[in-house]
Structure 1
């Protein structure tokens, strides 16, 4: 990660590999000018930097982009220590509601993102579409079908084929974090520090909430702070959780077949 120091015009005093870099190397660097920064590799550093700037422009707390190249992204290091607690969950709920209400989707009119992205080796196609059910079918569910056993593939295809009956055609195109699990929500002393590792696009705000609830449950103050959801959110949540389940199957293998099958069971597919 010496490239990071070169980009900033400083020397590295100390480097420490950070936990959570399963898909991209992440290192904390102490520089000669006293700064503590984070250097992150990955397939698309410039795109991730642009996503962080989009989130910041919409009012979300994220690390500042200090430098970027084709190989590395250098970020401000946010305070962290432990998870959200108490009022921290309310802070997250309030912040997410504001993020999901921010204007700006006209740039990609209306669902998707200007550029494709990736989770490690799993491509994330983002080419915009006018219909939200079409986007979810063509950009999120169907690209994973070749990677699945035939039985699971047929079941996912059944869901993809009837999304017009399961999802709203034109929900408000919210700016999504896109990978909002608790590991990408930093906290210090229980309070919200910021969001990291985005995979942004515009779509139904419930996508972020579905991901946040996939591997745990937010604290009780989160729901009240975020506000009420439209009727039918329970079924939509299972539809939206199919996407991260498919990503986990493709990245980590058959151990996640059970998660995927359980979601399909909930959807009657």
Structure 2
């Protein structure tokens, strides 16, 4: 039984019914994602991943913070089953405004622990790439120890030296104690669903608490949101332009580790912008 079959079988067990139709969905690069049509006529989504139970908790936490995310229907250590959000293309005009307003509410919601507010209760992963999330008392310590230094053994020596230099100097670049916002953690356009141009919801979180600008940096890494997004989200603190390259470096490092040398140029270019 391959992984997709295993996920489909487990989803049927969790739901207590056999689907009438199962269709693999595009975009499941790191784990199969299945659309399942139930006898009731409802469509649900079933997926595996590094930890379905952790993803379910992330979705619930995001929902509590006001984010539009799929409802968790069932979960086990093998499989997460959730509602299928409507999707018919990307965001337009008002949809980008809705995303900005929704993300601002999410980022302002309280919820981080008081003693070590930056991080998440458990580690996670992007496929084979671990995501350390151990809580830290300062944001700068978290970014250096959980987002920069773990990649050093996987990098070519010249890039590793530059990333280590940035980690050692991180106090000069990032605020030590920004408001600990609830982050989606993987907010690129493919994880933002639209229905007739409006915001349908966010999928595939990799949550933790940290500087809200992390989500914005990711959203701008592989494209640009519509200008209405900035209207909905509002102005950023001074110096955000310099911080953006540092926050974009983390997903660039992940892509390099996942997909190889084709991302060396992106990592080197971001380090050039940072000046290390």
Q: TM-score range by the shorter chain?
A: over 0.9
Task: Tell me if the contact between 1:43 and 1:71 (Cα under 8 Å) persists in the aligned partners.
Answer: no
Q: 2:45 aligns with which of 18, 24, 38?
A: 38
State the 4+ residue runs in structure 1 displaced beyond 3 angstroms: none
Task: Tell me if the contact between 1:145 and 1:156 (Cα under 8 Å) persists in the aligned partners.
Answer: yes
Cα distance in 1, alignment partners of residues 179 and 202 from structure 2 = 22
Cα distance in 1, alignment partners of residues 275 and 143 from structure 2 = 18
Q: 1:122 aligns with which of 126, 129, 152?
A: 129
Structure 1: which 5+ residue stretches go unaligned?
Answer: none
Q: 2:231 aligns with which of 214, 224, 227?
A: 224
Partner of 2:29: 22
Q: Let me know the Cα RMSD of the aligned residues.
A: 0.8
Q: 2:192 aligns with which of 182, 185, 188?
A: 185
Q: Is it true that 1:158 corresponds to 2:162 in the alignment?
A: no
Cα distance in 1, alignment partners of residues 114 and 125 from structure 2 = 21
Task: Tell me if the contact between 1:2 and 1:12 (Cα under 8 Å) persists in the aligned partners.
Answer: no
Distance 1:108 1:53, change over 3 A: farther
Task: Tell me if the contact between 2:115 and 2:137 (Cα under 8 Å) persists in the aligned partners.
Answer: no
Q: Is it true that 1:252 corresponds to 2:259 in the alignment?
A: yes
Q: 1:58 aligns with which of 65, 70, 74?
A: 65
Mapping 1:92-241, distance limit 5 Å:
92-106=99-113, 109-241=116-248
Q: Is it true that 1:90 corresponds to 2:97 in the alignment?
A: yes
Structure 2: which 5+ residue stretches go unaligned?
Answer: 1-7
Partner of 2:3: none
Task: Tell me if the contact between 1:187 and 1:193 (Cα under 8 Å) persists in the aligned partners.
Answer: yes
Task: Tell me if the contact between 2:116 and 2:138 (Cα under 8 Å) persists in the aligned partners.
Answer: no
Question: 1:243, CA displacement in angstroms?
Answer: 0.3
Cα distance in 2, alignment partners of residues 108 and 256 from structure 1 = 36
Deviation sequence 1:99-155 (CA, Å, 0-9, x none)? 000011126731000000000000000000001011000000000000000000001
Q: Is it true that 1:11 corresponds to 2:22 in the alignment?
A: no
Partner-residue secondary structure (3-state), 1:105: coil
TM-score (norm 2): 0.96
TM-score (norm 1): 0.99
Aligned residues: 269
